[in-house]
Amino acid sequence: MSWNEMWANVALCKTAKPDELFVRGAEQHKAKVVCGACPVRAECLAEALDNEIEWGVWGGLTERERRALLRKRPNVTSWRELLETAKVEHEQSVGRAAV
């Protein structure tokens, strides 16, 4: 099973129609709501950033937001690695705070 298949199978949008995710303007805000509670939001965003996907809402970010992020951090070689590390660190800090 590929990395994409592992996370895509649990994405909240997997049952959504593509027309709901690949929209423009104000409709993008509706698509972003689906991403808000998705357990694989970071993996989805990493996929879009690493592959410079130009269309649709991925990981809760629109095309414009992803382009801005890519311009802001041009030296990132693996968004997947960066976001996975950040996710693990966040989960560890939440776990420590709960104790």
The pair of three-digit structure tokens given for residue 50, joined into one six-digit string = 């690493």
> Residue 88: pLDDT band by 50, 70, 90 thresholds?
confident
The pLDDT > 90 percentage for the chain reads 41
Q: How confident is the model at residue 1 (pLDDT cuts 50, 70, 90)?
A: low
> Do 52 and 70 contact (CB within 8 A), yes or no?
yes
Q: Does 83 have pLDDT greater than 90?
A: no
> How many domains does the chain divide into?
1
Tokens of 14: 């997997």
On whether 38 is known to bind a ligand per the annotation, the reply is yes
Q: What is the mean pLDDT of residues 57-71?
A: 94
Residues of the domain holding 20: 3-98
Query: pLDDT at position 6, please?
Result: 78
Annotated binding residue 44: yes
DSSP character for 61?
Answer: B
pTM above 0.85, yes or no: no
